[in-house]
Amino acid sequence: MKFNYPEGATPLEGDELDALLPKHITLQSELNEWEHMNILEAEKWGFGQRHADILSLEFIQLLHRKMFSETWRWAGKFRTTLKNIGVMPYEISQELVKLCADVEEQMKHGIIPFDEIAARLHHRLVWIHPFPNGNGRHARIYTDVFLVNHQRPKFTWGQGNLVAPTQTRKAYINALKEADRHNFEPLFDFVRQTN
Ligand SMILES: Nc1ncnc2c1ncn2[C@@H]1O[C@H](COP(=O)(O)OP(=O)(O)O)[C@@H](O)[C@H]1O
Ligand SMILES: [Mg+2]
């Protein structure tokens, strides 16, 4: 099977490709469709109820598992290989625990606007890059579930498709790269657009 990656996507390692669960899938388009159906079900679950424990390792993993359980054997499991982005595999758990604790603190003090807390949370989660794949999609839904659980509307994430290699995706990746350099304004502008 030949895979095409949009800009900013993480190539799969050989072992990870072997972990594809539906063995009848031979085309990228079929995989996209299959993943999409899996993710729609996870969204129903994620947005269909309130969750008490969003800022936890368990919830971060559970959401990824729900999104990819019918697709990949490593759904919900942290990556064990190095990627061109992300912390060392053995640092993933501790970095996520720190992230959750920091966000709890930020919410308690109420100094940073809630949208900014959520956008920074999103950036740090994809920057840690906990999973072998699906980090972008996972971290966007995770951030939206976090917002909705705090009675905030979901982000608009620009105004178009973020999975395909569109201008919107380019703007998203550029905003994340700026955030890598501690310039968060482009990301704040990107995540919630009003028209
Ligand atoms: N420079 C960067 N800084 C932070 N995050 C990035 C950067 N480049 C890419 N990303 C994130 O990584 C995601 C791609 O990782 P990947 O695991 O392939 O997710 P997905 O399969 O959902 O696209 C992008 O959607 C984006 O969220
Ligand atoms: Mg990917």
CA distance 152 to 139: 17
The answer, yes or no, to whether any atom of ligand 1 lies below 6 A from the CB of 36, is no
Q: The pTM is what? A: 0.93
190 near 172, Cβ under 8 Å? yes
Mutate to test the pocket of ligand 1, among 68, 82, 126 (most ligand atoms within 8 A of CB): 126
Tell me the pLDDT tens digit for each residue of 32-59: 899 999 999 999 999 999 999 999 999 9
Residue 75: other Cβ atoms inside 10 A:
22
Distance CA 86, CA 128 (A): 5
Q: Which ligand sits nearest to residue 165's alpha carbon?
A: 1
Among positive and negative, which fits the CA dihedral 27, 84, 73, 17? positive
| Structural domains in the chain plus CATH codes | 26-155 (1.10.3290.10), 156-195 (no CATH)
Per-residue pLDDT reduced to its tens digit, 138-185: 999 999 999 999 999 999 999 877 877 789 999 999 999 999 999 999
Distance of CA 92 to the CA centre of its chain: 14
Distance CA 121, CA 61 (A): 15
3-state secondary structure of 26: coil
